[in-house]
Structure 1
Amino acid sequence: MRQNDEVRVQILATSDMHSRILDGDLESHIYRAGTYIERVREQYKNVMLLDNGGSLAGSIASFYYAIVAPYKRHPMIKLMNAMNYDASGMSANGFKFGLDFLNRSVALARFPWLSANITYAMTKEPYFSTPYLLKSFDGVRIAVVGLTSDDLVHNENIEMEHDIAVEHATTAAKRWIRYIHEVAEPDFLIVLYHGNCLRDRYTSNMDTENQAQKIMTEAGIVDLMITGHAYETKVGYQGRTAFVQAGQNAEKLIHVDVKFRKRRNTNELLAVTTEVIHLESYEESPALLELTHYDRKAVRNWQNEQIHQQTTNLEFESVSVLLQRRHPFIQLLSDVIKQVVLCDITCVHIPLPTSTGLQDCLRNEDIYHAYPHPDKPLDIELTGADIKRLIESAAAQLIVKDQQVIFDETQDPTLFQFWSGFNYTLDMSQPKYKRVVDFELHETDTYRVVMTDYCYRHYRHLLSQAVIHERYVITMPELILERLHQGAPITVEKDNMTIIGL
């Protein structure tokens, strides 16, 4: 076989880079990835660079450019443009900061964002216009189709619900992969699926299907599956399909070498070789560092800015401590949400399973690490029965151990609600979903409640008669900053939740 009868294409893949653009950050290697990518392009003629999504949220830099300085050009887009990405998939957390932010970021990118199963709610047309990409290398046609886990998108942001719809990823994959093979006739088809093969530790539905595996086995001919939303980097095969998981934060990079033999009317796939590239040994790209010099400086100046000089003590050792008595940190969350909506009843949650509150002289960075999510207040009307159902679901996450009530380790403690404005008792000797006793509210009456949209998003299936009066745009971290800037002491209310039956 003559050498010119062979075509090799190098496919490089990153995932979940989370806008980690601060150099010196041990979890950020995008500048090292830039160096490796440039070397591959110098060595090979045909190179395709893909990202599997998750680049716009998940770090203090992403928070700064979405919430604090949304008018500035996002440095992650600047970097990806400069690195000449061919396409990016779409992750669920791309919607975390709302559609306006996402649409603005996508509009500034010089590469397409691919998601075949995210559509306009009314027309069902692809929301990002480009469900797949077709690119030719020396006559070899490579197609890339993007898919996003519908399970992950479902609870991300209620603002977008009237604008977009999310089709089941496997269903969309079957239709689009068949269409691409019929119309585009690619020699090699890649699926960018943002969703991994591992169930989340806190998944409440243990029957959650493995959509990545179903796409590979049921959706048609897939030559390469690239998944994301995972901490691990791994490669393997599912039947004839090469499978790679690209990890996170550009700590590693997937390099796939695809070899074809050119024939008269077709191109024969000869081999697919996958490799995990460890980037620690590569130098950071000076050109990329220079590109984001002022962006990184702006983030660092903001994160190190002190809120006030007073020592704050809103710390707790573990989330289970919050069950023993009303804690000043929970009181802070309740107070700030009341600043937006004047309601007697509030419903808040802890922001992270690993939450430990706040302490010492605080900087902006401390607020971000204590509450990194852009949760927003929601003015809603609920019946007493709705509220009781919410509390029962939260109480079902609790267990008794050594004469103390704690969170069940298999459950997500961020889904536990902390209420104020009425008294109630949980009897831990009773079976799950029958633990609420001495409930002060009337189940048939309606009540005005201010709660975080996070609580609503995850429990709306229990709210039979909920009426949303207003969704506010200001986020909980911004409200916390505003409250702490005031410097007024936090007055902890009397305990309203009593736990018995230990």
Structure 2
Amino acid sequence: MTLLYTSDIHGNAMPVLYGTNEKADIGLVKYASVVKEARQKSENIIAIDNGDLIQGTPLMTHYVKEYSNRENPMIGIMNRIGIDAAVLGNHEFNFGKEILADAIQQSDFPWLSANILDESTNKPKFGPPYIIKNLENGVKAAIVGVTTHYIPNWEAPDHIKGVHFADAFKTLEKWIMQIRETENPDVLIVSYHGGFERDLQTGEPTEKLSGENQGYQMCQEIEGIDILLTGHQHRRLSGMVNDVLILQPGNNGQAYGKVEIELEKRNERWVITDRSGSLHELRDIESDSMLMDYMEEMEKSTQRWLDQPIGYIEGDMTIEDPFLARVKKHPFIQFIQDVQMDASGIDISVTSLLNNTSTGFGPVVTMRDIVSNYMYPNTLVVLELTGQDIKDALEKSAEYFTVTDNQVAVNPAYIYPKPQHYNYDMWEGITYTIQVSNPVGTRVRDIFYQDRPIDFHQTYHVVLNNYRASGGGNYDMFKNKPVVKEIQKDAVEMIREYFEKNQKIQATANANFTVQV
């Protein structure tokens, strides 16, 4: 039997990079051709999606804003591919309850969510915990789905109201035992929207053991898993961990995972004799013509929307070097801070440069520029923080840096195993200095607010995005802090509205922080 799977597609239906509009070897319309060809060769094909399907491209932002009364294009494509099951990813919740409910209702396939429970019934809320596929010659495959239970640390509370995220490891352990006993499958596959918390060879932790990723623990401590499909971390992995075949196919529809399983009948029972996993890019794959036709109207509408001029920049707001944009105040960062302060009416703001591919803004700003620089549907939250909280948060951000050859450089922990440049924050409304050569936890000094040293016992109102406000990125000092107000508009909408009020923006930067050796 052959198993094909995708993970972290993030709205990439089409073979295009929306930021530049260049053609690319990515997307579900190409992957569909892979599945179709595999099914022509064999009946024993299982196709699965491992989550983070519906959010992440301008196509999906445009769908949510203008076309949400129609079929979700990502679901429409997966229906036409004929996948056997999907797993909920954390980004499935980003657009709110209604968009998610519509996506699930429109699906011709089940959403497996063993550990995402209805608070009132304590049963899986969005679909069955597992399915059984009976294949040719009587081979019986069980597929169980779980999702990182760390979602409440990132997601807007109203998007997950009434939902309980049970521990993924403990839930999986229970279901594996039950499936082995009651279903007696020949092959047991786990589809886990989560990744690995430890080095696969040494077992050493590669991140804070928060429970966000539990893949290594699942392989080591749960008996009976044959295949563990993973995602969430956007890594490319294949191999064996404690006799469990593991895979992870990266992100954005650039590659897919393939598992080939050989079985032999012994004493009236099928036994796995060989397992192999591999990752494949979509180079030299033709797009499925039927799906290209299906997407034509939505894609044309998206492109028209992206090319709309929204505003104008006087001066230089382009980003040549993302590292330099983090060590010295950049006009683009100043712009985002200004947008957040304008939308909230708060004079202390926190933001980050979300991606190393961000290019900033040229003289004419289109929607394409906005969504390629701000790719997450974040909303804003105003928290009441003490001066000590602010100091702690600045120290956390200062961990982003290290000293190499007497120069400030990026801490490798923010690059490997998963790039996390978005977890370095810059602040506005206060002044501060980061001394990178000092020990971690003692790097930040000279914190001033309104020309006075910050008072560690006093409280201040601070505006930041909802991901960070909930403690995302291990900013634990923000967890459970008083919420002063929430601005329930996503970032793209706020930026567009800011340009409506201020058609021409001066590219300036308030040099309020210093990063030095």
Fold conserved between structures, TM > 0.5: yes
Secondary structure in 2 matching 1:374? coil
Report what 1:454 is aligned to.
Answer: 467
Counterpart of 2:207 in structure 1: which amino acid? N
Counterpart of 2:83 in structure 1: which amino acid? Y
Query: Does the C-alpha gap of structure 1 residues 225 and 21 become closer, same or farther in structure 2, counting only changes over 3 Å?
Result: same
Listed as ranges, the matches of 1:56-135 within 5 Å are: 56-67=54-65, 69-121=67-119, 123-135=121-133
Query: Does the C-alpha gap of structure 1 residues 454 and 240 become closer, same or farther in structure 2, counting only changes over 3 Å?
Result: closer
TM-score by length of 2: 0.83
Query: Does the C-alpha gap of structure 1 residues 238 and 493 become closer, same or farther in structure 2, counting only changes over 3 Å?
Result: closer
Alpha-carbon RMSD across the aligned residues, in angstroms, is 3.3
Task: Report how many residues are paired.
Answer: 490
Between stretches 56-65 and 259-268, larger displacement belongs to: 259-268
Secondary structure in 2 matching 1:62? helix
Are residue 18 (structure 1) and residue 34 (structure 2) matched?
A: no
CA contact (8 A) 1:349 1:455 kept: no
Between stretches 471-480 and 309-318, larger displacement belongs to: 309-318
Distance 1:367 1:467 in 2: 31
Listed as ranges, the matches of 1:76-475 within 5 Å are: 76-121=74-119, 123-138=121-136, 139-150=138-149, 153=151, 155-159=153-157, 160=159, 162-197=161-196, 205=207, 211-229=214-232, 235-238=238-241, 240-260=243-263, 266-272=269-275, 274=277, 279-308=282-311, 313-322=316-325, 326-399=329-402, 407-411=410-414, 412-426=420-434, 430-434=438-442, 435-437=444-446, 439=448, 440-456=453-469, 457-458=471-472, 460-463=475-478, 466-475=481-490
Secondary structure in 1 matching 2:63? helix
CA contact (8 A) 1:397 1:416 kept: yes
CA contact (8 A) 1:50 1:85 kept: yes
Query: Does the C-alpha gap of structure 1 residues 216 and 344 become closer, same or farther in structure 2, counting only changes over 3 Å?
Result: closer
CA contact (8 A) 2:14 2:29 kept: no
> Structure 1, unaligned stretches of length 5 or more?
1-8
Deviation at residue 233 of structure 1 after TM alignment: 5.3
CA contact (8 A) 2:118 2:163 kept: yes
Query: Does the C-alpha gap of structure 1 residues 178 and 332 become closer, same or farther in structure 2, counting only changes over 3 Å?
Result: same
Counterpart of 2:446 in structure 1: which amino acid? V
Deviation at residue 305 of structure 1 after TM alignment: 2.1
Secondary structure in 2 matching 1:28? coil
Report what 2:512 is aligned to.
Answer: 496
Query: Does the C-alpha gap of structure 1 residues 191 and 312 become closer, same or farther in structure 2, counting only changes over 3 Å?
Result: farther
Deviation at residue 221 of structure 1 after TM alignment: 1.1
Secondary structure in 1 matching 2:4? strand
Deviation at residue 339 of structure 1 after TM alignment: 2.6
Deviation at residue 132 of structure 1 after TM alignment: 0.8
Distance 2:407 2:3 in 1: 54
Deviation at residue 468 of structure 1 after TM alignment: 0.6
Report Cα offsets for 1:381-418 as digits up to 9, x if no partner. Answer: 12222222222322343445677655545434433333
Query: Which of structure 1's runs of 4+ aligned residues deviate more than 6 A?
Result: 401-404
Deviation at residue 110 of structure 1 after TM alignment: 1.1
Query: Does the C-alpha gap of structure 1 residues 484 and 402 become closer, same or farther in structure 2, counting only changes over 3 Å?
Result: farther
> Structure 2, unaligned stretches of length 5 or more?
17-22, 200-204, 415-419
Query: Does the C-alpha gap of structure 1 residues 67 and 408 become closer, same or farther in structure 2, counting only changes over 3 Å?
Result: farther
Secondary structure in 2 matching 1:489? strand
CA contact (8 A) 1:20 1:27 kept: no
Report Cα offsets for 1:45-89 as digits up to 9, x if no partner. Answer: 343221222322233323332456444422111010111111012
Between stretches 341-350 and 407-416, larger displacement belongs to: 407-416
Deviation at residue 259 of structure 1 after TM alignment: 4.6
Counterpart of 1:442 in structure 2: which amino acid? D
Distance 2:480 2:5 in 1: 46
Between stretches 275-284 and 384-393, larger displacement belongs to: 275-284
Secondary structure in 2 matching 1:292? helix
Distance 1:399 1:235 in 2: 31
Secondary structure in 2 matching 1:225? strand
TM-score by length of 1: 0.85
Distance 2:295 2:111 in 1: 22
Distance 1:419 1:43 in 2: 57
Query: Does the C-alpha gap of structure 1 residues 332 and 44 become closer, same or farther in structure 2, counting only changes over 3 Å?
Result: same
CA contact (8 A) 1:50 1:86 kept: yes
Deviation at residue 176 of structure 1 after TM alignment: 0.8
Query: Does the C-alpha gap of structure 1 residues 463 and 15 become closer, same or farther in structure 2, counting only changes over 3 Å?
Result: closer
Higher Cα radius of gyration: 1
Report what 2:202 is aligned to.
Answer: none
Deviation at residue 246 of structure 1 after TM alignment: 3.7
CA contact (8 A) 1:226 1:246 kept: no
